[in-house]
Structure 1
């Protein structure tokens, strides 16, 4: 069975119509119908049930569809990677970040690109450390930013900086600007199982008092919008607040007592040979934060 046949079947399911799928694929409807019927004959079971009014997918068709999606995705990823190798001597650097680091990472990438103007980049967001470890060790990513070290024997985690969490509040919410206790305050928190949520849950467990959660959201930007609307207060990383200031929102970041801290790490696979450009990007991240790990990091990444 060919990839093209799988793509035809996926198109029929997605469009729920042979006519619309044929138009999207730029082929004739009879040709598409014949292809699907041949697939069903070769497989020995029915993928789709057809009537004069609609198309429905069978249970076996659903399982086949899921496998087909995976195979087609893997095929195109492989082709893209092969194309990258042919395109130039500097394949794109694939790096994952977390939302709160987007502002400074963009500055680092700008600096790196000034040194390497022929370099291309692909930036994604990965919040789950287990998924990040899997993508680093399967060589789908070169680098990944995390807010905890990656606990994997084949991943190296280098600390970049430490930061406090702060309380995001409207400018006029509190008279005093001294550290604020967040006990009992209506809090907007990230959804589980994000690492930031784990940090905050652990904090309240240590305080032996449950948080007063009024809302759970996916992103810090969403939380900031709800704080702006007076829906509650958000606990966010201090570095992320610095990026919010660029938006000129009427929001303040107040110190929390007792403090909540976290470390940000840059991660890479231990057993991968990295190009000079990738190594330089790691060094640029370290230089940006003026860490004292520069010599050690270079020794680790060159191994």
Structure 2
């Protein structure tokens, strides 16, 4: 069976139209129609209903579509892997990464570039659970550094390190003189937090909920850097990952430990289980595993 015809059929289903699919494939509509008819002859059955104006698959067509999608995906993975293995070097390595791992990963890049100076590294923000999964399964990235524990039959999730959350304050804040800070101390403080849909924020809010404490959230900010700016301006305090705020901290800011055993997080390296990588990419993964 011709893989090209599978691609044509997949595009026809995707666009729900022979004309739109033909345009996307840069072929004529008669050529596309003939390819689908040829496919139906090979299978010995109709794939698309031709008795209605609305585009509709037959039961056989639906079954074929589900099976062919998997075969096309496998072929694309194989094609990508073989091209990378053939090149070995001069690769573009694409990694998804949480903002808070920036400093630690910069140390990895320094070490890696000494070993493989011809490889280019592209870093992409990955903030949502579904974004991580889609990026990996879609081959948009080789791996992802994330604080989300992805449980998926196709994805391998390896623990890199565990880190505590700390409270970020101005140096003149009353917390600076406290011997012991607990979550109860946050009740009357203006709290600056990341977006609730982010894993970091969701985890922090869950710990507050476990302690039956309602935090006084004044600002919800997407980027950690902006959170630091607002804290420095005296607009509130924030709870952030220790590895993120322990580096390049302004002279006006300091961090304090919060006494709560649940206020910490794991950070993982996620990759595709069955994907084959060149040695130069595996070397990068090994350096990442040592970064904690």
Give TM-score scaled by structure 1 length: 0.64
Q: State the Cα distance separating 1:86 from its structure 2 match.
A: 12
1:200 corresponding residue in structure 2: 204
Q: Distance in 2 between matches of 1:86 and 1:151?
A: 28
Distance 1:161 1:89 in 2: 29
SS of match in other structure, 1:283: helix
Gap runs ≥5 in structure 1: 1-41, 43-80, 290-303
**Structure 2 residue 286 is the aligned partner of structure 1 residue 283:** yes
Match of 1:230 among 234, 248, 252: 234
- Distance in 1, Cα, partners of 2:251 & 2:221: 19
The residue that corresponds to 2:156 in the other structure is: 156
Q: How far, CA to CA, are the matches of 2:258 and 2:93 in structure 1?
A: 37
Report the alpha carbon displacement of residue 85 of structure 1 after superposing the two structures with TM: 6.2
**2:52 equivalent in structure 1:** none
Alignment correspondent of 1:241: 245
Tell whether the 8 Å contact from 2:94 to 2:143 is kept in structure 1 after alignment: yes
Alpha-carbon separation, structure 2, partners of 1:209 and 1:160 = 31
Query: Residue 87 and residue 286 in structure 1: after superposition, are their counterparts in 2 closer, same or farther (change >3 A)?
Result: closer
1:287 deviates by 2.2
CA distance in 1, matches of 2:242, 2:195: 19
User: Which runs of structure 1 show a deviation greater than 6 angstroms over 4 or more consecutive aligned residues?
Assistant: 84-87
The 1:151–1:208 alpha-carbon spacing in structure 2 relative to 1, beyond 3 Å, is same
Distance in 2 between residues matched to 1:156 and 1:278, nearest whole Å: 16
CA distance in structure 1 between the partners assigned to 2:155 and 2:84 by the alignment: 24
What's the secondary structure of 1:243's corresponding residue?
Answer: coil
Residue in 2 aligned with 1:115? 115
Displacement, 1:275?
A: 1.0
**How large is the Cα RMSD of the aligned pairs?**
2.2
**Contact 2:84–2:277, Cα closer than 8 Å, also in 1:** no
Distance 2:199 2:86 in 1: 37
d(CA) in 2 for partners of 1:85 and 1:253?
44
Higher normalized contact order (CA 8 Å, seq sep 6+, divided by chain length): 2
Contact persistence 1:155–1:270 (CA under 8 A): yes
The number of equivalent residue pairs is 207
Aligned to 1:215: 219
1:153-190 per-residue CA deviation (whole Å, 9 max, x = no partner) reads 11111111111100000012134253312431210010
What is the SS of the residue equivalent to 2:277? coil
Q: Residue 87 and residue 231 in structure 1: after superposition, are their counterparts in 2 closer, same or farther (change >3 A)? A: farther
Q: CA deviation at 1:285?
A: 1.4
The answer (yes or no) to whether the contact 1:178–1:255 under 8 Å persists in 2 is no
2:130 aligns to what? 130
CA distance in 2, matches of 1:177, 1:157: 39
Q: Where in structure 2 are the equivalents of 1:174-193 lying within 5 Å? A: 174=174, 175-182=176-183, 183-184=186-187, 185-193=189-197
**Cα separation, 1, equivalents of 2:86 and 2:155:** 29
For the Cα contact (< 8 Å) 2:88–2:279, is it kept in 1? no
Secondary structure in 1 aligned to 2:158? strand
